[in-house]
């Protein structure tokens, strides 16, 4: 299987876990690991986005062709919507869109949320009209309700506090993620300095770093493997796929004497993802 596809599947697992799993017909197993997927080169990815929205992706597929993606949802059951999704997917493949699976899933989620909001507005409006069709106060309450529900909290970009995750332990190796809001490269360097000055974290076998911030309408991003080859790149891909902006994340790994193989990347990304979710960088 193409290495780019495998990298994205690994990132998808980190982003959508525990609602992500891979089924293999040949092995007759409900859940297989990424290592097994790479060996068998086939399977079906299931991603349960919510109770009414399930995504199925058949593997393998060629990177220059449309993957076989099935959308299962009561809300998205209209034929014109599925036709629209097919056209979007074809265009993304034609344009050789990077991270096509995650981008496509995001489009599906956005469409679902938009339709769900419209349905909610319609249901509430109908209920208010039934209660009192001539009640102006009721109409005003409905508008207030919608405005309150569509309001999104903004991050305070002036706060520079380092948050840390709980330790993730696997085969005696310990993984701890650290996160800080950053607005420029000086903020990134300050966070690195703070971690290096910490007596415990400075002794980590690896301090894997990735950051991403927006400055003057341009995005700046980079990573550092710190000796754990390809780990920083995967960490940055998690930030990119998650649209996590103005953030620097460092995952400290303390080697426990037992080699973890490729599963170490899953531990690194899962540890980072849990902290990103906790700090509201991933919704």
Q: CATH number, domain at 193?
A: 3.30.230.30
**Residue predicted with more confidence, 268 or 261:** 268
Q: Are residues 185 and 255 in the same domain?
A: yes
Among candidates 272, 279, 280, which has minimal Cα distance to 208?
272
Q: Are residues 180 and 264 in the same domain?
A: yes
Q: Are residues 68 and 168 in the same domain?
A: no
Q: Does residue 255 sit within a domain?
A: yes
The pLDDT value recorded for residue 124 is 54
The pLDDT value recorded for residue 206 is 94
Question: pTM for the whole thing?
Answer: 0.52
Rounded average pLDDT over 116-144: 51
Name the phi and psi angles at 58, rounded to 5. -85, 135
Give the span between the Cα atoms of 209 and 231, in whole angstroms: 9
Give the span between the Cα atoms of 26 and 107, in whole angstroms: 31
Give the span between the Cα atoms of 237 and 220, in whole angstroms: 13
Overall domain count for the chain:
2
The pLDDT value recorded for residue 180 is 92
Q: Does residue 200 sit within a domain?
A: yes
* Terminal alpha carbon distance of the chain: 30
Q: Are residues 253 and 168 in the same domain?
A: yes
Q: Are residues 81 and 168 in the same domain?
A: no
- Would the pLDDT of 130 be above 80? no
Q: Are residues 170 and 270 in the same domain?
A: yes
Q: Are residues 101 and 203 in the same domain?
A: no
113-124 tens-digit pLDDT:
777 777 766 655
Give the span between the Cα atoms of 48 and 23, in whole angstroms: 13
Q: Does residue 124 sit within a domain?
A: no
Q: Are 142 and 124 in contact (CB under 8 A)?
A: yes
The pLDDT value recorded for residue 11 is 77
Among candidates 204, 157, 154, which has minimal Cα distance to 182?
157
The pLDDT value recorded for residue 188 is 92
Q: Are residues 91 and 172 in the same domain?
A: no
Give the span between the Cα atoms of 212 and 229, in whole angstroms: 20
- Would the pLDDT of 187 be above 70? yes
Q: Does residue 127 sit within a domain?
A: no
Q: Does residue 283 sit within a domain?
A: no
Q: Are residues 91 and 173 in the same domain?
A: no
Residue 153's pLDDT band, with cuts at 50, 70 and 90, is very low
**Dihedral of CA 64/282/49/113: which sign?**
negative
CATH code, 19: 3.10.110
Q: Does residue 198 sit within a domain?
A: yes
**Residue 59 structural domain:** 3-109
Q: Are 240 and 16 in contact (CB under 8 A)?
A: no
Q: Are residues 178 and 252 in the same domain?
A: yes
The pLDDT value recorded for residue 82 is 66
Q: Does residue 114 sit within a domain?
A: no
| Residue that terminates a domain, selected from 87, 109, 131 | 109
The pLDDT value recorded for residue 14 is 75
Give the span between the Cα atoms of 108 and 122, in whole angstroms: 21
Beta bridge partners of 215: 218
Q: Are 159 and 248 in contact (CB under 8 A)?
A: no
Average pLDDT value for the chain? 77
Q: Are residues 76 and 170 in the same domain?
A: no
Q: Does residue 237 sit within a domain?
A: yes
Helix or strand holding residue 211 (H, E): strand 206-215
27-62 tens-digit pLDDT:
555 566 666 666 666 788 888 888 888 888 888 777
Q: Are residues 10 and 72 in the same domain?
A: yes
Residues in Cβ contact with 150 at an 8 Å cutoff, skipping those fewer than 6 apart? 117
Give the span between the Cα atoms of 177 and 164, in whole angstroms: 6
Give the span between the Cα atoms of 162 and 122, in whole angstroms: 43
The pLDDT value recorded for residue 106 is 77
Give the span between the Cα atoms of 32 and 21, in whole angstroms: 7
207-227 tens-digit pLDDT:
999 999 998 888 899 999 999
Residues in Cβ contact with 173 at an 8 Å cutoff, skipping those fewer than 6 apart? 253, 254, 255, 256, 258, 260, 264, 267
């Amino acid at each position: 299987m193409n290495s780019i596809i495998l990298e994205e599947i690994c990132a998808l697992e980190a982003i959508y876990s525990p609602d992500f799993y891979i089924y293999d017909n040949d092995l007759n197993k409900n859940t297989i690991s990424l290592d097994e997927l790479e060996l068998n080169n086939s399977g079906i990815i299931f991603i349960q986005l919510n109770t009414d929205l399930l995504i199925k992706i058949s593997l393998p597929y060629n990177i220059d062709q449309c993957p076989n993606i099935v959308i299962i949802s009561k809300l998205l059951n209209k034929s014109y919507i599925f036709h629209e999704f097919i056209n979007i997917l074809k265009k993304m493949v034609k344009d050789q869109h990077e991270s096509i699976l995650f981008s496509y899933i995001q489009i599906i989620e956005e469409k679902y949320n938009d339709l769900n909001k419209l349905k909610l507005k319609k249901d509430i409006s109908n209920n208010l009209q039934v209660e009192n069709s001539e009640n102006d106060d009721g109409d005003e309450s409905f508008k207030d309700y919608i405005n309150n529900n569509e309001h999104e909290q903004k991050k305070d970009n002036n706060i520079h506090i380092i948050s840390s995750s709980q330790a993730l332990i696997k085969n005696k190796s310990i993984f701890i993620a650290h996160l800080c809001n950053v607005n420029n490269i000086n903020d990134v360097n300050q966070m690195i300095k703070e971690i290096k000055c910490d007596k415990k974290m400075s002794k980590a076998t690896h301090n894997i770093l990735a950051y991403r911030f927006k400055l003057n309408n341009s995005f700046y991003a980079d990573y550092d493997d710190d000796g754990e080859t390809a780990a920083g790149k995967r960490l940055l891909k998690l930030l990119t796929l998650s649209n996590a902006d103005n953030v620097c994340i460092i995952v400290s790994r303390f080697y426990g004497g037992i080699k973890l193989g490729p599963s170490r990347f899953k531990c690194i990304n899962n540890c980072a993802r849990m902290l990103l979710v906790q700090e509201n960088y991933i919704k």
